[in-house]
Structure 1
Amino acid sequence: MTPELVVLDMAGTTVADDGLVVTAFTEAIRAAGVPDEEYPRMLRYVLDTMGQSKIVVFRALLGDEDLARRANAAFEAAYGDLVAAGESKPVPGAEAVVRGLRETGVKVAFTTGFAPATQQAILDALGWRDLADLALAPGDGVRGRPFPDLVLTAAMRLEVTDVRRIAVVGDTASDVLCGLRSGASVVAGVLTGAGRREDLAEATHVLDSVSALPAVLEGETR
């Protein structure tokens, strides 16, 4: 399988999280007026659903559309502030992997569970706006993970000929399920983010880091 497209998650996979999601979530819950005693349960749910669209997570937690939108806006604002303050860092080797893939003719798409504006803020902060061929976030007509939409939308926009010639990489169970549902031949979980090895058990490969991906893809072509 010579890949035509590699779909890479951002936070936890190519971008180090370092607790930024938890910090932003804390601000979001405060903005929604959630009692302190509810915080541990809600934080556990956020951690269990890492990789999914954040507005969907807040809808499930709060059960009220207005509260969910308020919490999501506060989350995105807090995360954006952290990014603007220089708290967002690349996973070591991630940029070299993307550049190496594109140099060999493989297309690369960044995907996320964040809102499009937050995704672009991260890319701008890292100087990555033009690093990949495409950056996608959940939105109108594109459901977030674990639905396969992000991968399949990337495949259509980048004119992939066969979903079996796609590789998907992420750090959560939702990333893995999204990749499997899309029909990708390589669905790799990485251990640099929220997911533990047991969370990534359904992946075709479990890697210490995205930097190990080129060797996996080279092995698949033999």
Structure 2
Amino acid sequence: MNTELVVLDMAGTTVADDGLVVRAFTAAVAAAGVSEEDSRYPGMLDYVVETMGQSKITVFRALLDGDEDLARRANSEFENAYAKLVADGRCEPIPGAEDVIRGLRADGVKVALSTGFAPATQRSILDALGWADLADLALAPGDGVRGRPFPDLVLAAALRLGVTDVRRIAVAGDTPSDVLSGLRSGASVVAGVLTGSGSRAELAEAGATHVLDSIRDLPSLLA
């Protein structure tokens, strides 16, 4: 089947992470009373790495034992810290990502950028990169749209962009959560990429239909 929609993750897939998530996380848990010297910090950091790609508010709820006030405080600080890092010029695209997106759209394929960050954080990244109008759609978890590993981001993109068949969707991301989200959506191509946090073994174990060195390899796969 011809591909109608490609749903691409951002941090680690189309946007270089370069440790920004970990730095923002450190500031976030500090706001919740957990310093880097705290005995809980290493385990929390491990969990953040394991859950890369998932909705950040969900991650903070798990880390802070369901304390909603603390989770929201940590999430707000995460957004602020990440946005500041982006504003300081710490945000760069994965080499070739912009060309891939433009090329797909030129070939008549719709492209959606998805993330586990809050909408405001996603917007700050897009603005910093000059990507506000690069893709057909940008989606983040929010009201009525759950984050990964649920399929909502992919399915919401399919609905909003008028996809005729979920089998005409391709998904690409750098984490097992990205892969699981794509598989649950019914996409025919669910590619893991090795420019982010996931290893080849982790992505394959999650069920990726393909594992690519970079998003630059996606067009040839779809062709």
C-alpha deviations, 1:95-154, integer Å up to 9, x for none? 000000000000000000000000000000000000000000000000000000000000
Letter in 2 for 1:47: V
Aligned position for 2:153: 150
**What is the rounded CA distance, in whole Å, between the counterparts of 1:77 and 1:121 in structure 2?**
10
**What is the rounded CA distance, in whole Å, between the counterparts of 2:201 and 2:31 in structure 1?**
34
* Partner of residue 183 from structure 1, selected from 167, 186, 190: 186
**What is the rounded CA distance, in whole Å, between the counterparts of 1:67 and 1:198 in structure 2?**
35
Matched, 1:29 2:29: yes
**What is the rounded CA distance, in whole Å, between the counterparts of 1:86 and 1:166 in structure 2?**
33
Aligned position for 1:137: 140
Which residues of 2 match residues 84-95 of structure 1 at below 5 A? 84-95=87-98
Aligned position for 2:169: 166
1:80 is displaced (CA, Å) by 0.3
* Partner of residue 194 from structure 1, selected from 189, 194, 197: 197
Q: Runs ≥4 in structure 1, deviation > 6 angstroms?
A: none
Aligned position for 1:71: 74
- Aligned residues: percent identity? 77
SS in 2 for 1:37: coil
Which residues of 2 match residues 56-67 of structure 1 at below 5 A? 56-63=58-65, 64-67=67-70
**What is the rounded CA distance, in whole Å, between the counterparts of 2:2 and 2:131 in structure 1?**
25
Letter in 2 for 1:33: G
1:41 is displaced (CA, Å) by 0.2
SS in 2 for 1:77: helix
Aligned position for 2:20: 20
1:185 is displaced (CA, Å) by 0.3
**What is the rounded CA distance, in whole Å, between the counterparts of 1:169 and 1:112 in structure 2?**
12
Letter in 1 for 2:4: E
1:72 is displaced (CA, Å) by 0.4
Matched, 1:217 2:219: no
Aligned position for 2:110: 107
**What is the rounded CA distance, in whole Å, between the counterparts of 1:130 and 1:92 in structure 2?**
18
Aligned position for 1:11: 11
**What is the rounded CA distance, in whole Å, between the counterparts of 2:82 and 2:34 in structure 1?**
19
Aligned position for 2:128: 125
1:2 is displaced (CA, Å) by 1.1
1:34 is displaced (CA, Å) by 1.8
SS in 1 for 2:40: helix
Aligned position for 2:50: 48
SS in 1 for 2:6: strand
SS in 1 for 2:28: helix
**What is the rounded CA distance, in whole Å, between the counterparts of 2:168 and 2:156 in structure 1?**
14
